[in-house]
Amino acid sequence: MSAKLTTAKVENFEAHIRKSYDGAFFELMVTHNLLVGSITELIWIIVKDRKQGAGTAIMRELCEFADRHAAAIKLTPASKGDNAATTSRARLIRFYKRFGFVADKRKPGEIVGVPTLIRKPQFTSGPLNQTLATA
């Protein structure tokens, strides 16, 4: 496990993803909360060519990065009608669930809208590849 997740580490990781995956648009934001620790929020992930494995590879790297820094990942799946999204929200939710994302708990009385998904850090000895192979 690494030291506290910093903005510099997140920026370096973003640069690595952009360099490694040509045409990928990828943006993160990190927040620190005394009660839950670090939360990495996935703002954008858009890949040039869908169904070529780039999105899966990027998510695998993001999950491993978050796990190394004991950070949760939070995201709001887009929908075909949103900005650059090219698939349905339901399909994206199924995709994210493969990586261990679950629906974030709503507070009593909170207005239900677009679902927010969260993935808590996983502290397993094996690589994420083994987790995905059984999913």
Answer whether residue 35 is part of any domain.
yes
pTM for this structure? Answer: 0.76
- The tokens for 80 are 């075909």
Answer whether residue 74 is part of any domain.
yes
Quote the CA–CA distance of 32 and 24 in Å, as a whole number.
26
Quote the CA–CA distance of 90 and 95 in Å, as a whole number.
9
- The tokens for 99 are 């990586």
Answer whether residue 125 is part of any domain.
yes
What's the pLDDT at 75? 87
Answer whether residue 30 is part of any domain.
yes
Q: What is the CATH number of the domain that holds 102?
A: 3.40.630.30
Answer whether residue 58 is part of any domain.
yes
Range of the domain at 119: 7-134
pLDDT in tens, 55-71: 899 999 999 999 998 88
Indicate the number of domains in the chain: 1
Answer whether residue 1 is part of any domain.
no
Answer whether residue 2 is part of any domain.
no
Quote the CA–CA distance of 106 and 112 in Å, as a whole number.
8
| Low pLDDT (below 70) residues in the chain | 1-3, 33-37, 49-50, 81-86, 106-114, 124-135
What's the pLDDT at 131? 44
